[in-house]
Structure 1
Amino acid sequence: MGHQKVYIAAVIGVILCAAITIPLVITLPKPDRLDLVTATVNEGNIVGQVTPEAGIFFGIPFSQPPIREFRWRRPRDPLKYESRYWDATYKRPGCQQICDQPASEYSCPHEISEDCLYLNVWVPRRLLTNAKSDDIVTSEHYALQNDYLPGGQSAPLAVMVWFYGGNFLNGAGSCVLYDGRNMANMGDVIVVTTNYRVAHLGFLVQGEKGSEEAKGNFGFWDQIKTLEWVKQNIQNFGGDPNKVTIFGQSAGAESVGIHFTSEVSKDLFRQGIMQSNPFGLPLRNWTDAKEFGGRFAEAAGCQRDDMTCLRAKSVKELEKAFNDTSLEVTDPSRITLIFQPWSPVIDGDVLREQPVDAFIKGNVHNKPMINGATVDEGMIFVAEAFPNPMTNMFYKALLRIVFKEDYSPVYSTYPDECYGDCREMVNKLATEYLFSCPQRKAQNSTRNIQHWWYIFNQTWSFEEVWEEPLCFDRVCHAAELAYLFNVEQMTTFTFTEEERVFSKRLIWYWTNFAKYGNPNGPPATIRAKDIVKTSVIEDGGQVGAKAWSTFGEYGTPENDYKALQLQANGDFEMRQPYKDICDFWDNVDAYADHYMTAQLQRYWRKKFKQMWRHV
């Protein structure tokens, strides 16, 4: 009898559910699929999403996964898609890393994996058209207008490919901070962001030189593979494969600088933008990189050069070896290597010499470039390395140890007039020695190339996002990024109205450069020594935009140069900024090559433990 009651109750329940559900199904409107957009690439069809600003394709594979036996191998061609289409509506993981950037919810990947070689594409909304149905998505959706596809009547758009910073230790193309929708929409360009392998998985050197073992520069080869994919596929998104601008910040700017010196990627881009390139830091040569990699292998429990053993190690085991060895000093004469322990290697193939030396010698591609830095590049590193006030005695000891025989002239130029806390003086020194002055030197040596220099001088109104009080009233490393990508609506940042206009202006300069090879815009709108007018900028285009002069003409004296100071209340041209201090550093002639006695290695390894993480 009990079973019968249960059975009757179940039947009644099914009837009631049906009575309720059927009317709901009937009355629900037909699903609206206009939030989807389709495209076709060499590997097959892809489906992305649409926002009011752009068509977005997240997580497109540009290589096969670099996992298992392909760990520490160059990226391979992507495979044809097995399914009807590739789902590009959601973000894929960033590469394996330890990410501890400020505002990590915006500057770090949401997920990490060794399977990480994916890129993202943003297409201006105006290029999309309503597609009734096709064999990719059967319901109503968007597709690229035929006019912008190969054979169409409209000119394809310029393309901007972004390489993230993070000291070659962390970062991802999918970070909120690098979302390209507003740049694509406001600037009318195609924006691409990508992942590349970092740290030990991106730059390990082990095995014999010339073998197919761990030859280093895997992260850089990932960038090259991205550019090859763009060259082959970007026309299917309305982009011009012959109009590619590479741009990046910090380690991303270093990457751009290396592309300017490398024969391998020479034909894959037209021009570049370097934001906060620490030209003053050295890269490892082959011998040093192999010794550093050998110590890493031993810390992982493997014999040196035993790649079979290393490839069998778990991610956690490799992470422990990374933590145990990243501050190893392999060359006592070049202590600044600990600021950037894992990075591109001078291998004679991708990279033949220190990038700053290549620029000084003129061994760079003759392509237009923009270069620049913030006015307080060094402060965030100083604050992390030295969280407590720095005494005058400690400051002088620091100078003696780092600059050795150059101590006296450096101390005379940067005296300890700091009254109990010398961190501000170290910030000034680091900014000028590692960033601004080697940038000036590189540009003075390449006056045959058309390039523009900027000095970024805008303090955030949303200062708490720094998570570092010493940056609250300063213009620290990466200060331009929130404005450049105009990510206010995707974050807790709140721009002032002045900052909103400033953000549009930065996008205007950067995308003008991508489109016309000149940040001022097409030739018809360039009026020297006058305000540049454009409909993109509010209030008739007169809110702070100035004609941006080139750094210096070929054949003019080295001290005849200009930069544009970028700030929210109006940009203005600077003549000979940093002249005296950069003349000093040029005479010291120690960019990318520092010296330190072996006895002091252990002591300073601890002191510099945090400084290198965010370059």
Structure 2
Amino acid sequence: MKRICSIIILCFLFKISYSLAPIVKTTYGLIQGVEDDLVYMYLGIPFAKPPINDLRWKNPVDMEKWSNIYDASSLKPACPQLNCSSRMPAESCPPNYSEDCLYLNIYVPKNLNESKAVMLFIHGGNYQYQGANSILFDGRRYSNFTDTILVNIQYRIGALGFLVTGKTSDQANGNYGILDQRMAIMWVKNNIFAFNGDPNRITLFGQSAGAESVSIHLLSEDMQDKFNNAIIQSSPMAIPFKNYEESLLLYNIFTQTLNCSIQDMKCLRSKSIDDILNAQIVAENKVSSVKLLEFFEAWLPWIDGKIIKGQLLDFPKWIKSANFQFKQFIIGTLVEECYIYINLAFPNLISLAEYTGLILGGFKQHSIDILLNYPPNLLANDQRDQLSVLATHWVFLCGSRRFLEQAINSNNSSLGYYQYVFDYSLDFAGWDNFTFCYNHSCHGSDMPYTFDSVDDYFTKDGKRLAKSHLTYWSNFAKTNKAGSSDGLEWNEYKLEKKSFLKFKKDFNDYGQDYKKKQCDFFDSIGYYY
């Protein structure tokens, strides 16, 4: 697999073996892309000025128009990141990075006889890793098979995207990564017509931190006219955003590591990217909050009352207008989301006593209830599997169900919503050193099938699964209905009939009320402790 991935990346980076695509006229100027036998590609299009020098830790600034034809024939570097391969397989990590990284890629079907639905993807990676130039997000097969326009965007991550030093305009106010996403979405809304896209059929979809981001945009009243519907893949709904004080704790450690004085932005802006990335790692490895889940996402949005109104499950803090109506969405999780995180956090076995201690420390007044509902396995020496089940239900599955049902209750309408469960492990050797994820549906296992990006490595069954995935996703983007694939109709989720689709080996299937007992339990005790 490494050789094929390297060849694909080299083709993009060095502009070889592609013909020129039609020139398009945007509100910023003309753009020249490239084409292969599948699609037209417009790669590395800037949607904001480079966030460098004085624009480091500033809100994104709109691009100026250009006079020459913009060369969109190669991918741009990802935003700065360090140790990506410690969290995900090395071959899926971006091949390079730069602080000048606010770019997007557009993949356009060659069938131009009618305007196309648009699918805008926001990558995950703990708000610290990944980028649109990852091999995972190669959109050629996706766009060609679905007959939709695929857009991949980048946004600032880590300390560059989420550092908070103060609330005044001369300080770093954080949430820059979310503001970057908003600007990219608006760029697409205002310019996708030039690529034969329908600006009234834009679907936001994202995975992990990208799915959290999609959820933020769904809840933001001022973003409602920028997209049509959404798909939320593996959003860790129970991971809490920081408050102001918690953000400053992380900043203080970060600043001390860089030998800068408190609120000395000139000093911070003088530091090299390598210095910033190293200080970021030091800060996140030190305890800056008593919240157990902060270790999963140390650098993330904070509740500023403007862009981020509250936690994702605190709907009343977000929605003030009586006329607000939730857009339709698909939401789902994998059956073993936290298996990778538990095994990374605890490389050695967890004893019964350690398991009990983790529950007592993490769930406080709810510890006894948690132990009654998720008791340790008394027949096993290692409790990691049980902890993985608990964490998956709490952080991903049940929080996502809660988000879904709150949206339905808030709307009180007949709009269609859909739930899925993904129960399929990689059918090719794609986990590299993360050997514990083989034969498990670890977090991220769905991404190769979502994009069909490494189809040559799939088994026959993997190819079937990928095609069904793409079919449902694109049906929803085109019509607001998931429709059917391989003869299986995906039924809408109703409070009185909680239907879900399961992506699984051999044949997809459907059911009702997935993990009802477990999710009813978490609904009763809440998600943030």
CA distance in 2, matches of 1:406, 1:415: 13
Q: How does 1:381-392 map to 2 (within 5 A)?
A: 381-392=341-352
Whether contact under 8 Å (2:336, 2:440) holds in the other structure is yes
C-alpha displacement at 1:337, in angstroms?
A: 2.1
Q: CA RMSD in A?
A: 2.0
2:464 is aligned with 1:501:
yes
The more displaced of 419-428 and 403-412 is 403-412
Give the one of 486, 499, 511 matched to 1:574: 511
Look up the equivalent residue of 1:378 and give its one-letter code: C
The equivalent of 2:331 in structure 1 is: 371
The more displaced of 32-41 and 303-312 is 32-41
CA distance in 2, matches of 1:338, 1:33: 43
Give the one of 131, 143, 159 matched to 1:184: 143
The equivalent of 2:6 in structure 1 is: none
C-alpha displacement at 1:495, in angstroms?
A: 0.9
The equivalent of 2:10 in structure 1 is: none
CA distances 1:519-577 after superposition (whole Å, capped 9, x unpaired): 11xxxxxxxxxxx46xxxxxxxx4xx411111115xx4xxx412111124222221111
Whether contact under 8 Å (2:20, 2:32) holds in the other structure is no
CA distances 1:251-292 after superposition (whole Å, capped 9, x unpaired): 000000011112342221111110000001100012321332
CA distance in 2, matches of 1:567, 1:305: 51
Give the one of 436, 440, 443 matched to 1:470: 436
Q: How does 1:110-259 map to 2 (within 5 A)?
A: 110-127=95-112, 155-207=114-166, 209-259=167-217
The equivalent of 1:516 in structure 2 is: 479
Which secondary structure does the structure 2 equivalent of 1:465 belong to? coil
Look up the equivalent residue of 2:94 and give its one-letter code: P
The equivalent of 1:90 in structure 2 is: 74
**Could you tell me the percent identity over the aligned residues?**
33
CA distances 1:485-505 after superposition (whole Å, capped 9, x unpaired): 11125xxx6111121122111
C-alpha displacement at 1:436, in angstroms?
A: 0.5
CA distance in 1, matches of 2:334, 2:215: 17
Which secondary structure does the structure 2 equivalent of 1:346 belong to? coil
Which secondary structure does the structure 2 equivalent of 1:564 belong to? strand
The equivalent of 1:442 in structure 2 is: 403
CA distance in 1, matches of 2:347, 2:203: 38
Which secondary structure does the structure 2 equivalent of 1:89 belong to? coil
Look up the equivalent residue of 1:437 and give its one-letter code: C
The equivalent of 1:551 in structure 2 is: 493
Whether contact under 8 Å (1:159, 1:239) holds in the other structure is yes
Which secondary structure does the structure 1 equivalent of 2:421 belong to? strand
CA distance in 1, matches of 2:390, 2:443: 14
Q: How does 1:197-596 map to 2 (within 5 A)?
A: 197-207=156-166, 209-332=167-290, 334-358=291-315, 365-417=325-377, 419-447=380-408, 448=411, 450-465=416-431, 467-489=433-455, 494-520=457-483, 532=484, 542=486, 545-553=487-495, 556=496, 560-589=497-526, 591=527, 593-594=528-529
C-alpha displacement at 1:76, in angstroms?
A: 1.0
The equivalent of 1:133 in structure 2 is: none
CA distances 1:414-466 after superposition (whole Å, capped 9, x unpaired): 12215111111011011101011111112222223531000001122114535
CA distance in 2, matches of 1:360, 1:499: 42
CA distances 1:287-307 after superposition (whole Å, capped 9, x unpaired): 321332233222211111111
The equivalent of 2:8 in structure 1 is: none
CA distances 1:223-255 after superposition (whole Å, capped 9, x unpaired): 011011101110000001111110000000000
Change (3 A) 1:262 1:324: same
Whether contact under 8 Å (2:309, 2:318) holds in the other structure is no
Whether contact under 8 Å (2:416, 2:480) holds in the other structure is no
Look up the equivalent residue of 2:146 and give its one-letter code: G
CA distance in 2, matches of 1:41, 1:362: 34
The equivalent of 1:109 in structure 2 is: 94
CA distance in 1, matches of 2:41, 2:236: 32
CA distance in 2, matches of 1:32, 1:437: 47
When the two structures are aligned, how many residues end up with a matched partner?
A: 503
Which secondary structure does the structure 2 equivalent of 1:355 belong to? coil
CA distance in 1, matches of 2:432, 2:35: 31
C-alpha displacement at 1:35, in angstroms?
A: 4.5
Whether contact under 8 Å (1:164, 1:172) holds in the other structure is yes
Whether contact under 8 Å (2:142, 2:451) holds in the other structure is yes
Whether contact under 8 Å (1:196, 1:219) holds in the other structure is yes
Change (3 A) 1:348 1:360: closer
Whether contact under 8 Å (2:431, 2:437) holds in the other structure is no
CA distance in 2, matches of 1:39, 1:176: 26
Change (3 A) 1:501 1:214: same
Which secondary structure does the structure 2 equivalent of 1:193 belong to? strand
Whether contact under 8 Å (1:373, 1:455) holds in the other structure is yes
Structure of greater Rg: 1
Which secondary structure does the structure 2 equivalent of 1:245 belong to? strand
CA distance in 1, matches of 2:287, 2:348: 25
Whether contact under 8 Å (1:164, 1:173) holds in the other structure is yes
The equivalent of 1:604 in structure 2 is: none
Whether contact under 8 Å (1:360, 1:445) holds in the other structure is no
Change (3 A) 1:484 1:428: same
C-alpha displacement at 1:338, in angstroms?
A: 2.8
Whether contact under 8 Å (1:266, 1:365) holds in the other structure is no
Look up the equivalent residue of 1:565 and give its one-letter code: K
Whether contact under 8 Å (1:56, 1:123) holds in the other structure is yes
CA distance in 2, matches of 1:284, 1:234: 34
2:36 is aligned with 1:76:
no
Whether contact under 8 Å (1:329, 1:335) holds in the other structure is no
Whether contact under 8 Å (2:219, 2:319) holds in the other structure is no
Whether contact under 8 Å (1:263, 1:350) holds in the other structure is no
User: Mind listing any 5+ residue stretches in structure 1 that lack a counterpart?
Assistant: 1-30, 128-153, 521-531, 534-541, 595-615
Which secondary structure does the structure 1 equivalent of 2:120 belong to? strand
2:45 is aligned with 1:60:
yes
Look up the equivalent residue of 1:233 and give its one-letter code: N
Look up the equivalent residue of 2:102 and give its one-letter code: L
